[in-house]
Amino acid sequence: MSLCGSLSTLQQHAMAKYVNPEIAQRLKHGAILSNPAAPQVYNGGIETHSTLFEIALESIITHDITILEKCFSSFQEDMGAQFARMIYASVSKVCDQSGNVVDAKKSGSLQLAFLEMLEKIEFSADKTGEVKLPEIHLGTDSFNEFARTMQESTPEYDALVEDIKARKVAEALDREVERKAKFVRYGESEQ
């Protein structure tokens, strides 16, 4: 495998933490990012991510190949951090533009905000009909507060959360059935 292939693989692994590789798209140099069928879809354009690592001449002279592992690790960390900042900024911008934002203070409590958030999120099913629950990404302090608050929840609150999740899962499965119905012979094997 070439050096570029190795770096590309590392970059794809870093990106996979945030975006399912099955739905990720790669653009070749000179291509544009657009969605003519859905002009309302957010188009953040293309952002440049770059990293720099240096190899001392002494390492080359002494044939120190351990420097490659250090360079690859540095590359993966830098690109992963840049991608994370970009993805969180993009999600924040889209949510702000669409109004799909929940404010815990306005909701009255973290638990009520969580319920409001669940109501706003649209769950999705993959092509096999599996619904993967949405993820919540929090900083350490927010996570600790969230975990503590949820541990203090009542059985009635927990039941309400489970009811919303069950309804959202059923809606996602119904949407996937409707989506599949638009395609002739979708999912049928050739005989």
Q: What is the pLDDT of residues 44-87, one digit of tens each?
A: 667 777 888 888 888 888 988 888 888 888 888 888 888 888 88
Burial class (CB in 10 A: 0-12, 13-18, 19+), 107: middle
User: Which position has the higher pLDDT, 79 or 31?
Assistant: 79
pTM: 0.65
**pLDDT tens column, 153-181:** 999 999 999 999 999 999 999 999 888 88
Arithmetic mean of pLDDT over the chain: 82
- Under the banding of pLDDT at 50, 70 and 90, the label for residue 191 is very low
Domain boundaries, the chain: 3-98, 104-181
pLDDT score recorded for residue 50: 81
pLDDT score recorded for residue 126: 85
- Distance (Å, whole) CA 109 – CA 149: 9
3-state secondary structure 10-51: HHHHHHHCCCCCCCCCCCCCCCCCCCCCCCCCCCCCCCCCCC
Q: Three-state SS for 186?
A: coil
Distance between terminal CA atoms of the chain? Answer: 38
Q: What is the mean pLDDT of residues 87-98?
A: 86
pLDDT score recorded for residue 56: 87
- Under the banding of pLDDT at 50, 70 and 90, the label for residue 43 is low
